Amino acid sequence: MKEVPAKMQRKGDWTPSEGSFKRFLVWLDQGTDTEGQSYLGMRDRLVTYFDRKNCSSPDELADETLNRVTRRLEEEGDIDSEAPAKYCYTVARYVFLESLRSGRDKHVSIDEASEQGKRELAAAEVDGDKELKEKMLSCLDHCTSKLDEPSRDIIIRYYYGKEREKIDNRRAMAESLGISVNALSIRACRIRDKLEGCVGNCAKEV
Amino acid sequence: MTNSYDNQTLFAYLLGGLSDSELERLDEMTFTDGEFAEAVKIAEKDLVDSYVAGELSGPMREQFESHYMASPIRREKLAFARALDKFASHAANAPDPTPAPLRVAETKASSGWFKELLESLGLLGGGNRRFAFAAGAAMVVLLLLGGWLIFRGSAEKRASDIATGTNKIENPPLPTATPLPTASGVPITVPTPNTKPTISPTQEATPTPKRTVEPSQPTVAMFVLPAPLRGAGPLTQVKLAPGTQFAQFSMGLESNDYTSYRVELHGAGGGPSLWNSGTMPSRGSKTASLSAKIPTKLLRSQIYSFTVSGITKDGTAENIGDYSFRVIK
């Protein structure tokens, strides 16, 4: 069957072919093969962006944005007006405004959402969510055991303690590692991201 | 670029406290400036951790609850932060990489050699005084029993030797023993009553005495689980040495108000019961402890919980408490 050119398809109908997706990855990498990491990073930023806007389906809107950029690349062959990250942001902003106008994405009002959040929090605090907590603890146990030893040590020591004790503890840790407190926080943040991803997957499996 | 944004600005960004134009500018920077994006990530984690630690107050706390918690994704981050906080506390409180299976509190009743014995066995350090005393007393009883058995075995053997004229045995027979891991996980050998060595009559004819020993007993590791704490207490670590066939847990009760009890073992996430004790009648004493002997093949390296229920006279089961512990194999 003859493929319909990208320009002739409606926005919502278009799905990237393998070729167009590869072209998009190459464009995003800007000459460095990141083996898909740039794509994952960009998708993550988009999801976070739409989530901060309180969109109810941040994943869908992120995919919609990536599809549009990929389609534009397919149509134009290249996009050199802006750097990939800036271009993706511009498209994301349009997608967000469009979703607001069309009412396609059900935006949750802050009041409504925070009420729901408070209800969930209250439920969690009265032990309604005990099972989830235990599951997360079990997954944390499993996921930290998969970390290399220095990372495991950092994540446990970095998050140990309260207020002053925590600050002093971090300063001492940074000193012992021979790095600045800022560098230590970046390192801990990356380990935590990895751990959070692992726990998220584990919690779904268990 | 990142350095020009202090945490207050980043917190305001995360809590919806910026003007539209400023918000848009920072939104764009989360895409175009990697350092800034990283700084926002770190600030977000700090913010959530501060909330978990109860360090946010006033308008900031209100904004967190009304704005930040409006999204399910962000509520998941909050749940993760809570779990990480708890996990880090437990892990950091563990005394060493091979933590003690027994966490029993210091007791005023223990003094002198008795206290030293408890300390040498790692029984002092945190938990419930009653357990410390009981566990220590149990050790003493076991040692006395062991000593008596050795003495009796030796005396019987001597009598037997005299009777059979084989009192020239160079190596006196030793009783077999059941390894009992100590708090530090190192097995100690305690003689058991039913493992008295028997000497075959044929040894009379043999120059080297041959001892017939009963088949080896199942290896049991014993652990005391402290009563559940109201706050977040340290999670008891249960280290099972290779070859251990059963883990015997003793769980202390605050009081003994029920006619019978039931103990169920669950995995960390709850779910179906992996083991249950059936109905265990109360022993009638004022205070009590319950015992559960679990085949170690049921246990993996993970967190488990015993759910203890008290059965009332009319047969109603009431939850008394959950005794959680982490198995390390």
pLDDT in tens, A54-99: 998 999 999 999 999 999 998 888 888 889 999 999 999 999 999 9
Lowest mean per-residue pLDDT among A162-171, B111-120, B213-222: B111-120
In angstroms, what separates the C-alpha of B68 from chain A's closest C-alpha? Answer: 8
Q: What is the DSSP string of B264-282?
A: EEEETTEEEEEEE---EE-
Instruction: Provide, as residue numbers in chain B, all residues whose Cβ is less than 8 Å from the Cβ of A88.
Output: 31
Which candidate from A47, A138, A158 shows the least CB-CB separation from B268?
A: A138
Any idea of the CA torsion for B145, B149, B155, B158, to the nearest 10 degrees?
Answer: -160
Q: Does A40 touch chain B (CB under 8 A)?
A: no
Distance of alpha carbon A76 from alpha carbon B50, whole angstroms:
48
Question: In whole angstroms, what is the distance from residue B274 CA to residue B263 CA?
Answer: 11
Kindly report the number of other CB atoms within 10 A of residue B233's CB atom.
17
Which pLDDT belongs to residue B100?
A: 31
| Residue A169 distance to chain B (closest CA, Å) | 12
Contact B27 A58 (CB under 8 A): no
A160–B88 C-beta distance less than 8 A: yes
A147 part of contact set with chain B, CB < 8 Å: no
A137/B88 touch (CB, cutoff 8 Å), yes or no: no
| d(C-alpha A62, C-alpha A53), whole Å | 12
Per-chain mean pLDDT for chain A: 84
Q: Which residues contact A75 (CB under 8 A, 6 or more apart)?
A: A6, A7
Can you give the length of chain B in residues? 329
Selected residue of B31, B52, B69, B324 to mutate for chain A interface (largest A Cβ count, 10 A): B31
Three-class DSSP category at A44: helix
Q: Which residue in the set B24, B77, B84 is minimally distant from A140, CB to CB?
A: B84
B77 CA: distance to closest CA in chain A (Å): 8
Q: How far apart are CA A113 and CA A124, in angstroms?
A: 16
Maximum distance among all Cα pairs of chain B, rounded to whole angstroms: 105
- Pull the structure tokens for residue B270: 């709850």
Q: Residue B42 burial by CB count (10 A; 0-12/13-18/19+): exposed, middle or buried?
A: buried
Interface residue A163 vs chain B (CB under 8 A): yes
Tell me whether residues B70 and A54 touch, CB distance under 8 A. Answer: yes
State which residue of chain A sits closest to B94, comparing Cα positions: A156
pLDDT at A190 > cutoff 70: yes
What is the distance between the alpha carbons of residues B258 and B213, in angstroms, rounded to a whole number? 43
The minimal CB distance from A88 to the residues B31, B49, B80 is found for B31
pLDDT score of A32: 85
Q: With a cut of 60, say whether residue B6 has pLDDT above it.
A: yes
In this predicted structure, the answer to whether residue B52 has a pLDDT above a threshold of 80 is yes
| CB nearest to A137's CB, from B78, B83, B301 | B83
Q: Percent helix, strand, coil in chain B (nearest 5)?
A: 40, 25, 35
| ipTM of the complex as predicted | 0.83
Q: Which strands form B246-253's sheet, in the order they lie side by side?
A: B220-225, B246-253, B288-295
pLDDT class for B126, splitting at 50, 70, 90? very low
A121:B41 CB<8 A: no
From B93, which residue of chain A is nearest by alpha-carbon distance? A160
> Which one of A141, A162, A180 would you mutate to disrupt binding with B, by most B Cβ within 10 Å of its Cβ?
A141
**Residue B102 pLDDT level (bands cut at 50, 70, 90):** very low
pLDDT class of A129 with cuts at 50, 70, 90: low
pLDDT at B41: 93
Contact A142 B92 (CB under 8 A): no
